[in-house]
A and B are shown apart, each in its own frame.
Chain A
Amino acid sequence: MTTLDINHGPDGATGRPYHETYKPASHFRSKDEEFDAVKIGMWLFLATEVLLFAGLFVGYAIFRMMHPEAFRNGSHYLDWKWGCLNTIVLLFSSWTIATSIGNAQRNEQKKLRRNLLITVACALLFVGIKLTFEYMPKWSGWFIAFDPALSHYESDTSALGGLLHHVPGYGGKRPGSLFDYPFAENPYEPMWWSIYYCATGIHATHVLIGVGLISWLYIRARKLHFGPGHYTAVEVVGLYWHIVDLIWIFLFPLLYLIH
């Protein structure tokens, strides 16, 4: 157990909720001191997260500089509409979790739970869009039946009762030695896909971790763990979620918009 969730459960004597009776860990003099310490720790962790993605951004810059044509072709394979929609989804979820901190501070328990749920839903929607409309067709050539892009292509096979349609010659846009797309115009296109899958894949992993963390917040919020007296976990998970959004704010134009 961390300092975040020590002293679990309602106060036995008074029956008051956890956030009202919350006491900091014994090595802190006050709740405020604990709050500040936890937050500094989170910011240090976020700095390492930024450095993790910095490696990917510098890799992108170096390979783009060395093989501009491959990256130009590569970004044309991506549909800016999905990228834009996912950006809006993430920005909106950033807003809901920022608002949920205010809800905890004002003891608006119902709104707090609702905002946390919306944030989880947005995170799942983001990963769902990425897997269904972007990764799956590019990797395998299989489209989901309601993908609007399907109208541009000729499908030869369908599966799962017409839910999936296969477009020959579309898939195989994979990283490195897995590359199997027959119409590449530049020998370095597998390099583009390596950067694309690494950067968006590590980002999507962070989104999924965020789903877990925000679900944990939701479960605790249902037990009235957060309120004006204690909302440290909401605040630091919120910071994590914003950094995930921040990374996407840079990935989106770099991958989808710069031609």
Chain B
Amino acid sequence: MSHDPHTHGTAAVALDPTDPHGATHHEHVIIPRSTLMNVLLVLLFFTLLTVGLSRAEVWAAGFFGIEIPQWVNVAVAMSIAIVKGLLVLLFFMQLKYDNKLNAIIFANCIFAVGLFLFFSMTDLGFRGVVYEWKKGEISLGGTGGVSRGAGDHKETISGNVTHFAREKYLALWGPEKFEHIRASVKHDHPHGADANTANLSRAITGQTGALSATAPTHSAGGHAPSADGHAAPAGDHPPEAPASHDAPKDAPPTGGH
């Protein structure tokens, strides 16, 4: 406080080391009028400066065709705004003279805002990089275009890697030796040459046995419970009754009956 010409107020409470709420009070500071006036003048100057620079940029673009990159405009305008904000915080809001705890509270808040802004902007700013990688066509066995190995063993895979391997060894061994080796390593494989089982799989998600395509489909009308909860007699639904008995003669008698 040595630099503050005017202090005022009751003397600070004497420090009692045994008191957990030990006196931490700061002297009340009366900020000189001249300081406040100077800060106001600097703030007004910076306001006119930022407006002037913005106008100059528009003017330069209009008369000379000089396009100043947008990040420069943003950086200049935001730098001036930060300087103005600091002046308001330090002098008008008295953080310069105040209990440092208040400044720490505010600095932490600004840090949180910084994190918020930083991660939002890096997320959005690098979306393009991710999309470039994601937009490639997805194909079985990979898209190829990959180099592997080194020296004499260096090879570039084009297209499907399983085809690449097959063609590579066909060329290396010739068709006859290729078939011989295949018979020796795959002789008792149950699927024979058809190694790809992908087309044998089928989606079963969300289905129960009774609702699957192989289940009888004739139960829809005839066996639906009526509104009072009893199974409806066949006579209640004459048009549907015959159809329900004719339907799939080869289907196993499952459910309902």
Contacts and interface: CB of A to CB of B under 8 A. Distances in A.
Interface in B152-209: none
- A interface bracket (residues with beta carbon within 8 Å of B): 35 or more
A249 B47 CA distance: 9
A43 B92 contact: no
Interface string B36-70: 11011001100110110011011000000000001
Interface stretch (B83-91, B141-149, B212-220, B238-246): B83-91
A253 B78 contact: yes
Interface string A216-259: 00000000000010000000001100110110011011101111
A136 interface: no
Contacts of B80: 253
A50 B120 contact: no
A80 B36 contact: no
B8 A242 contact: no
Contacts of B26: 36
B85 A250 contact: yes
A62 B120 contact: yes
A29 B124 CA distance: 52
Contact of B25 (A32, A51, A98, A256): A32
Interface string A11-36: 00000000000000000011111011
Interface string A90-114: 0110110011011001100000000
A160 interface: no
A62 to B, nearest CB: 6
A44 interface: yes
B73 interface: yes
A51 B109 CA distance: 7
Contacts of B36: 95, 98-99, 102
A257 B50 CA distance: 8
A47 B85 contact: no
Contacts of B51: 80, 84, 257
Interface stretch (A53-61, A148-156, A183-191): A53-61
Given A58-B120, A87-B47, A99-B36, 14 more contacts: A29-B21, A36-B26, A40-B105, A50-B106, A54-B112, A58-B117, A61-B117, A65-B125, A92-B40, A99-B33, A105-B30, A238-B93, A242-B89, A246-B85
Interface of B: 8-10, 12-13, 21, 23-26, 28, 30-31, 33, 36-37, 39-40, 43-44, 47-48, 50-51, 54-55, 57-58, 70, 73-74, 77-78, 80-81, 84-85, 88-89, 91-93, 98-99, 101-102, 105-106, 108-110, 112-113, 116-117, 120-121, 124-125
